[in-house]
Structure 1
Amino acid sequence: MEKDAAHFAEKLGKRIRELREKKALTQDRAAEAAGITGKYWGEVERGSVAVSVVVLDKIASALGVSVADIMNMEHWSSRQELLEKLEICLREADEPTLRLYLRLLRTLQL
């Protein structure tokens, strides 16, 4: 995973861990609810894997939150950092993924 993508994955994993702990769920219990393995959930929380939008939606459902709640990056240091991360994700994405990102953003804006 590229350095910037890895940094994003770490921040996302921390947010997912934070939300899971608020719900007092173990990794295994949350993973079971999401339909993924406990090992994979742990990798997500450590930021060692890049999560697909489909898996992110399953994680949100398991935690009883929206994808928008997971993506709430108030713990990131600045707007500029967020824009840089988005730019990297967009630049590296293929066309189908860009279309998926656009649909996701439009959905979250509602």
Structure 2
Amino acid sequence: MGWWLQALEAGTQKAVRDALIAFMAATAQAQAEATKEAQRAGIELAKTKGTAYLGRKPSYTREQLGTVKDLLGKGTGVTEVAKTTGLTRATIYRIKDDPTNAEKALLSWGQVG
């Protein structure tokens, strides 16, 4: 008889636990969506006001960008370019894939060439 009661309580506890976890997950997802929406709204407001929305500051300098372009132009591998410049491979790939945007990012942050 005691075993039956424990199994029933465990089943109830599991159901309550699962419901609580589902509720917490839904709350976290709603909060994340609200945060993203607020960020989008802030960016749009800055753009409409004429305030420069610069995005994230580039992790590289004008000199590093020039070095990366030169080395990649000579056929140097991404890993070697990263070691030479001190930048991450991800940054090198980002510059390699879109050098125009890399240049634009520096210009928007006031690093003129």
Taking structure 2 as the reference length, the TM-score comes to 0.29
The structure with the larger Rg is 2
Q: Which structure exhibits the higher relative contact order, with contacts defined as CA atoms closer than 8 Å and separated by 6 or more residues? A: 1
Taking structure 1 as the reference length, the TM-score comes to 0.29
